[in-house]
């Protein structure tokens, strides 16, 4: 029986991962650990309340004491999601990214070093990272596990730094750690500062759809449930000390995404038709990476992982989820988000 501590469990991917484990692995216990920052939300974990295999601890990964309380000898696995995750926020305020993403990851590594974690002892920590550590691509080529790090934003620089610490703790101390580098996720519970929920909610509210630059930047998209199945696969079968690239083989320009959301909204919310009339080109993101694309053959071939969702079906399902869960995002929109939105997009 595994006792899995999930850091950042009240965030978008963390919450989806907690559900994934509780649903598919009946013998596992999950300890959700989260500071509940602006993007952490207990409402994301509501459906597991009452499940005896689930518990929640409010704590901060940068605080040694909080980690000592949460990472006890009983914990067998850690899946580390907790982070500052939004590129635009890292551009206006980088310091918190260094504190949380670098120092926080370092403190977790120190805690498991203190507890003398070994693979033979049945322990493993999985560090969840991003493809943004590799920098940007032109119109050709793919990132792989061999690609050199060239992070371009303060966010990706902080994640790259944390990845290096994880690697060094394997190399120096032999700790049982593994890292995943994944492309852009989408799906239920994503905080509305990110492209897909932001465009969906704004379309429903009849607000401008702010496209950075010309909208020709390209991202590779993966449904969050497929990211969760990949993480579980790496947790179970990944080789200690290695990294695994995870992607959706679904490259789309930002304009493509926004146009698709508008078309789905025209169908599901005909009174707002045509939603594409809301598209507004705004000032580009500083240092905006042009293209991300992942060759995830290693994860597929060595570990047997495969994604299930197609992008078009997953996007429609996601837009439907935001329409059906208006209360969830309305409470977010009325809080800190209001000030962030004003600063980022003006009035």
Residue among 20, 155, 186, 341 flagged as catalytic: 155
Catalytic status, residue 131: yes
For the segment 77-106, give every residue that binds ligand NAD (CB under 6 A): 81-83, 85, 100, 104
Q: How far apart are CA 305 and CA 231, in angstroms?
A: 10
Considering only 47-55, 81-89, 224-232, 315-323, which stretch makes contact with ligand TDX by CB under 6 A?
81-89
The verdict on whether 27 is a catalytic residue reads: no
d(CA 145, CA 49): 38
Nearest to 39 by CA among 13, 71, 69, 67: 13
Given the complex with ligand NAD, which of 123 and 223 has the nearer CB atom?
223
* Residues in 161-220 at the binding interface with ligand TDX, rule: CB under 6 A: 184, 194-195, 198, 210-212, 217, 219
Residue written as tokens 């837009």? 319
187 touches ligand NAD (CB under 6 A): no
Rule CB under 6 A: is residue 38 a binding residue for ligand TDX? no
Element of type H or E holding 273? none
66 given a catalytic annotation: no
Query: Is there binding between residue 309 and ligand TDX (CB under 6 A)?
Result: no
Q: How far is CA 305 from CA 41, 67, 228, 233, in A?
A: 30, 31, 11, 7
Q: What is each CA distance from 105 to 61, 93, 110, 112, 119, in whole angstroms?
A: 7, 19, 9, 11, 19
Binding marks (x or -) toward ligand NAD, 108..147, rule CB under 6 A? --------------------xxx-----------------
The catalytic position among 132, 163, 226, 251 is: 132
* Interaction partner, residue 210 (ligand NAD, ligand TDX, none; CB < 5-8 Å by kind): ligand TDX
What phi-psi label fits residue 145: left (phi over 0), alpha (psi between -120 and 50 degrees) or beta?
A: alpha
Return the closest-CA partner of residue 137 out of 292, 297, 266, 18: 292
| Binding-site member from 254, 259, 260, 307 for ligand TDX (CB under 6 A) | 254
> Distance between CA 99 and CA 170 in Å, rounded?
22
Binding site for ligand TDX (CB under 6 A): 85-87, 130, 132, 184, 194-195, 198, 210-212, 217, 219, 254, 285
Binding site for ligand NAD (CB under 6 A): 7-8, 10-14, 34-37, 39-40, 60-62, 81-83, 85, 100, 104, 128-130, 159, 182, 184-185, 191
């Amino acid at each position: 029986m595994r006792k899995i501590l999930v850091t950042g469990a009240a965030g978008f991917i963390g919450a989806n991962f907690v559900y994934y484990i509780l649903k598919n692995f009946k013998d596992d216990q999950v300890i959700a650990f989260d500071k509940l920052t602006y993007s952490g939300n207990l409402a994301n974990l509501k459906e597991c309340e009452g499940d005896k295999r689930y518990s929640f601890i409010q704590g901060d990964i940068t605080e040694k004491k909080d980690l000592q309380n949460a990472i006890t000898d009983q914990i067998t696995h850690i899946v580390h999601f907790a982070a500052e995750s939004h590129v635009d926020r890292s551009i206006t305020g980088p310091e918190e990214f260094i504190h949380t993403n670098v120092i926080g990851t370092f403190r977790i590594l120190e805690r498991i070093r203190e507890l003398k974690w070994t693979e033979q002892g049945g322990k493993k920590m999985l560090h969840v990272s991003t493809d943004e550590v590799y920098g940007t691509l032109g119109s050709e080529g793919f990132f792989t596990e061999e690609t050199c790090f060239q992070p371009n934003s303060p966010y990706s620089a902080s994640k790259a730094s944390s990845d290096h610490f994880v690697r060094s703790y394997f190399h120096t101390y032999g700790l049982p750690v593994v890292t995943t580098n994944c492309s852009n996720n989408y799906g239920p519970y994503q905080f509305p500062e990110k492209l897909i929920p932001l465009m969906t909610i704004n379309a429903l509210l009849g607000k401008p759809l702010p496209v950075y630059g010309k909208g020709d930047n390209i991202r590779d998209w993966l449904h969050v449930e497929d990211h969760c199945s990949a993480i579980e696969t790496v947790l179970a079968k990944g080789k200690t000390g290695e990294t695994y690239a995870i992607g959706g083989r679904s490259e789309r320009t930002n304009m493509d995404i926004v146009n698709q959301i508008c078309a789905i909204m025209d169908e599901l919310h005909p009174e707002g038709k045509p939603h594409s009339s809301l598209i507004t080109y705004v000032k580009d993101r500083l240092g905006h990476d042009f293209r991300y694309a992942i060759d995830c053959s290693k994860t597929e071939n060595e570990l047997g992982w495969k994604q299930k969702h197609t992008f078009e079906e997953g996007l429609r399902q996601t837009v439907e989820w935001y329409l059906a869960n208006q209360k969830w995002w309305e409470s977010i929109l009325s809080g800190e988000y209001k000030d962030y939105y004003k600063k980022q997009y003006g009035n």
